[in-house]
Amino acid sequence: MASKIRKLLYSLVTIFLAITAIFFIIRLSPGDPIEKILGPEASVTDIEKYREQLGLNLSIGKQYINYLQGFFTGDLGESLFKKKSVVELLKTHLPPSVILAIVATFFSTIFGVILGVISAAKKSSGFDFSFRFISLLALSFPIFSLAPLLVLFFSIKLNWLPVSEWLSFKHGILPAITLIIPLSSVLSRVTRNKYLEEEHGPWVQVLTAKGMSDFSVILRVAKVCLPSVLNVVAIQLSVVLAGTMITETIFDIPGIGSLLFEGIQNRDYPVVQGIIIYSTVIYMGVYFLIDILNEFIDPRINS
């Protein structure tokens, strides 16, 4: 119980530091949102008057206190450009991002673990060499270069899948594949390496000596590898969230990514802050749950 409380406190402190950092970083970045809203021909009087209306004329300390008060009361402010509450915008743009992140994480974990275990069990075979070559090749392509290749092949050459928007199941296939390929490659290589470390352990030899079938031994070893794989899943979740945002921009999906990109371009402080808060809370929440799940899978972790 004490370890769970420590992990929860660690998560809360991390979230607090993250939302504090983003508040100050975004205000130190060049560019004035008021000048962008009113245009270059706006007078100094109009700029100062509008800045006062939005509360941006207050000291940084006062703005920070208001920012924290809003965060703890669930009020993330109002978009400077869209004139809608950030919470409302997040609710509108969340579904595509959440679906992409869940699908990518789920299938990449399944594929990564299965392929990694098979490759380790067939070490030095043709499958193993092919697997390592393909996984390394997949890791060599960043999302912004992998996505156009998939579009060229599946959409333009074969005409199987649509290129952009978010209107049906088909519209989500290419973005999901774009995220699944690199993430599953990472997880499969981690699984393979961890499996090779564990398969020669004394406990594996004992199971074999007792007459346990090869398939049962493979499952036992895979279970022991699972906490390490889940830790990588938690770490890679930040990559998935960032990748989702890039993928949404490439495929013109109305998710958090496109909203963040637009917010950064317009120096829309409340929108950018709200999205970073959302991402941080999701990431730390999943990381905390995976820590608890790892303890359940292998009680020795905190023993």
For the domain made up of 91-302, give the CATH fold: MetI-like fold (1.10.3720)
Q: Residue 301 pLDDT > 60, yes or no?
A: no
For range 289-298, the mean pLDDT: 70
Nearest to 138 by CA among 203, 74, 89, 182: 182
- Identify the residue whose tokens are 């193993």: 128
Note the residue count of the chain. Answer: 303
- For 127-175, the pLDDT digits (tens) are 888 888 888 888 777 777 788 888 888 888 887 887 776 777 788 888 8
Give how far Cα 262 sits from Cα of 164, 166, 282, Å: 17, 18, 21
Q: How far apart are CA 110 and CA 184, in angstroms?
A: 8
In the numeric block, which tokens belong to residue 232?
Answer: 């990588």
- For 60-81, the pLDDT digits (tens) are 888 888 888 888 887 788 887 7
Q: Are 86 and 77 in contact (CB under 8 A)?
A: yes
More confident residue, 32 or 26: 26
- Identify the residue whose tokens are 């992140």: 101
Per-residue DSSP letter, 201: S
pLDDT of residue 26: 78
| DSSP class per residue in 9-76 | HHHHHHHHHHHHHHHHHHHHSS--HHHHHH-TT--HHHHHHHHHHTTTTS-HHHHHHHHHHHHHTT--
- Phi and psi at 156, nearest 5°, equal -85, -50
| Whether the model pTM is above 0.85 | no
Per-residue DSSP letter, 85: B
Number of CB atoms found within 10 A of residue 185's CB: 24
Residues 6+ positions from 210 with CB-CB distance below 8 Å: none
Q: How far apart are CA 222 and CA 109, in angstroms?
A: 13
pLDDT of residue 4: 67
Q: Are 258 and 252 in contact (CB under 8 A)?
A: yes
pLDDT of residue 297: 65
- For 82-119, the pLDDT digits (tens) are 778 888 888 888 888 888 888 888 898 888 888 888 88
In the numeric block, which tokens belong to residue 202?
Answer: 């004394």
Per-residue DSSP letter, 171: G
